[in-house]
């Protein structure tokens, strides 16, 4: 699903009216109807409930006025507080405010009050309790921090969050639509209903923390306008992952060689757990054969603790128990008979000979490659000569610290500009970049960036990234012609398994192996009963 900027959304609205003849008033009416439908779906029938809607002067406020009418149709009592005078509004918004005012003249269960200062706001908003609160103060056009009466209104709504539902219309007020971090005081919504498509602030970490649960409402804009608007930012949807799983599902007559062979180069003295986690995840992903190649003195430990279905191979090592540079040819030879190679978890990167090993394997590889953890550190800063491509796909899975080392920039800069840095790196080096963290990003060589929506804070635990590496490698081995799809599906399912683990054990007690143990449940939850039977 495309994620739109404010300018792209305005263009879609304009073309919807000009090219398809759909009046802007009808779009506003549809927005209100879809919002109320989502509210009823989540919070139950509106009949008999009391709602307070705080409106600004623009179209977002007009949406709020239209919502008031829709709620009244459903037999709710509604108070509308307009943070200006009707005469100071314009366009469709003004028309809807006048409609509500006219209805209020003969219907005592709907009110419209014009509010011109914070004192009046406190007096009107604080005189009654409500079952539902609606934030329709600002829309996508906000460019500066809220102040004065608007800041007071935001503060009032935030005082209600937690005790009563607060529903934001399109974007929580106080959040700038195109900015990943709030620019000032902002509403912390329980539910946000975004129109036509999610906005940048609805999905990126920081601002999205204010969104609450996000619902997307189709208000009538044709799908081709959205797909052609120029956006290269996408929100990952479960339906897409379900489709990918169906396309990679094994047939009834396959053998283990048909469903993918994975080689994982991982582990060193004191870091054998990383190898075990990556290997187990590749098996749980559905790969037919998985081999973990590790430093020779670590092989016994890995073999003892890894799933018995997984094979191991020894690689020559340094005096400190890390994989040595001389092992690169054996690793490359082992990879010849595999479909996918993954390298990095727990191999260490402090010894130059290990760094040499990684560089040799990456530069001489003949199979699709997933690089994580110490494999990435061994390659930092990234060389312009290291590239992916359609023939030899390359997938990198850094966390922000590793990304900072790859590009030679401070971690703070990476966190502030995650989308731009991920996109630039992926396009410049023709590879797939998985930038891990809250709302993990997957950047493709063509400039498209995908925002993941699954996962939770419990996954901030050692080894979770190793599980992701094995999972992506295992999925790619089963569908070698779609490395981007494997990366997106891997990230989504990894997060879904983490969510199932959190539901079972809580986020505090979660460990990485809990994610692996819930992968089967994640496949079934997303892919359906077909994942059980085939």
Give 10-residue mean pLDDT values along the chain (534 residues): 96 96 96 98 97 97 98 97 96 97 96 92 84 96 92 95 94 92 93 97 91 96 95 97 93 85 97 98 97 97 93 96 96 97 94 94 96 96 89 96 97 94 98 96 98 96 98 97 98 98 97 98 95 78
Give the homologous superfamily in CATH for domain 6-231: YjeF N-terminal domain (3.40.50.10260)
Nearest to 231 by CA among 207, 195, 192, 199: 199
Rounded to 10°, the helix 483-505/464-478 angle is 140
State the CB neighbour count (10 A cutoff) for residue 385.
Answer: 7
Q: How many Å apart are CA 442 and CA 419, to the nearest integer? A: 9
Q: Given this model, what pLDDT does residue 366 score?
A: 95
Q: Given this model, what pLDDT does residue 385 score?
A: 83
The domain segmentation of the chain, as residue ranges, is 6-231, 239-533
Predicted TM-score (pTM) of the model is 0.95
DSSP-assigned letters across all residues of 471-519? HHHHHHHH-TT-HHHHHHHHHHHHHHHHHHHHHHH-SSS--HHHHHHTH
Element (H, E) at 262: strand 261-265
Query: Please, how many CA atoms are within 13 Å of residue 419, restricted to the half-sphere of its CB?
Result: 21
The CATH number that domain 239-533 falls under is 3.40.1190.20
239-533 and 6-231 share a CATH fold: no
Q: Given this model, what pLDDT does residue 256 score?
A: 85
Q: Given this model, what pLDDT does residue 372 score?
A: 97
- Torsional class of 520: left (φ above 0), alpha (ψ -120 to 50), beta (otherwise): alpha
The sheet with strand 441-443 has its strands ordered as: 233-235, 449-451, 441-443, 432-435, 394-396, 369-371, 340-343, 261-265, 289-295, 311-315
């Amino acid at each position: 699903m495309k994620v739109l900027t404010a300018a792209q959304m305005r263009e879609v609205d304009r073309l919807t009216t000009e090219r398809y003849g759909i009046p802007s008033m009808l779009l506003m009416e549809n927005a209100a109807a879809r919002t109320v439908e989502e509210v009823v779906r989540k919070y139950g029938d509106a009949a008999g409930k009391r709602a307070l809607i705080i409106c600004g002067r623009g179209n977002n406020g007009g949406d709020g006025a239209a919502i008031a009418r829709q709620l009244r149709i459903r037999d709710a009592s509604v108070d509308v507080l307009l943070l200006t005078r009707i005469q100071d509004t314009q366009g469709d918004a003004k028309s809807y405010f006048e409609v509500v005012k006219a209805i209020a003249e003969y219907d005592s269960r709907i009110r419209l009050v014009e509010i011109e200062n914070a004192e009046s706001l406190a007096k009107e908003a604080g005189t009654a309790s409500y079952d539902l609160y609606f934030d329709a103060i600002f829309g996508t056009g906000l460019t500066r921090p809220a102040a004065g009466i608007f800041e007071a209104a935001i503060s009032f709504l935030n005082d209600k969050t937690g005790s009563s539902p607060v529903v934001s219309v399109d974007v929580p007020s106080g959040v700038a639509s195109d900015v990943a971090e709030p620019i000032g005081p902002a509403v912390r919504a329980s539910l946000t209903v975004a129109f036509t498509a999610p906005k940048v602030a609805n999905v990126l970490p920081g601002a999205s923390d204010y969104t609450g649960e996000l619902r997307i409402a189709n208000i009538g804009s044709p799908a081709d306008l959205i797909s052609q608007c120029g956006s290269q930012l996408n929100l990952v949807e479960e339906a897409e992952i379900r489709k990918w799983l169906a396309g990679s599902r094994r047939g009834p007559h396959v053998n283990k060689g048909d469903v993918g062979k994975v080689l994982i180069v991982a582990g060193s003295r004191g870091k054998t757990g990383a190898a075990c986690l990556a290997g187990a995840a590749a098996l749980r992903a559905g790969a037919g054969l998985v081999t973990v190649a590790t430093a020779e003195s670590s092989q016994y430990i890995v073999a003892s603790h890894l799933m018995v279905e997984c094979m191991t191979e020894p690689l020559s090592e340094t005096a400190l128990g890390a994989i040595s540079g001389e092992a690169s040819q054996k690793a490359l030879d082992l990879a010849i008979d595999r479909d996918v190679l993954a390298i990095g978890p727990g191999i260490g990167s402090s010894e130059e000979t290990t760094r040499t090993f990684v560089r040799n394997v990456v530069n001489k590889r003949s199979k699709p490659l997933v690089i994580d953890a110490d494999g990435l550190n061994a390659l930092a800063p990234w060389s312009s000569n290291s590239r992916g491509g359609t023939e030899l796909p390359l997938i990198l899975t850094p966390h922000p610290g590793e990304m900072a080392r790859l590009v030679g920039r401070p971690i703070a800069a990476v966190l502030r500009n995650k989308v731009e840095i991920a996109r630039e790196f992926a396009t410049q080096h023709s590879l797939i970049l998985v930038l891990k963290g809250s709302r993990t990003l997957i950047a493709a060589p063509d400039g498209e960036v995908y925002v993941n929506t699954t996962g939770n804070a419990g996954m901030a635990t050692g080894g979770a990234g190793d599980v992701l590496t094995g999972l992506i490698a295992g999925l790619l081995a089963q569908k070698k012609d779609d490395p981007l799809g494997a990366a997106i599906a891997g990230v989504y399912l990894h997060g879904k398994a983490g969510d199932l683990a959190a539901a079972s054990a809580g986020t505090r007690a979660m460990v990485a192996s809990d994610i692996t143990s819930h992968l089967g449940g994640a496949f079934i939850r997303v892919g359906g009963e077909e994942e059980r039977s085939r």
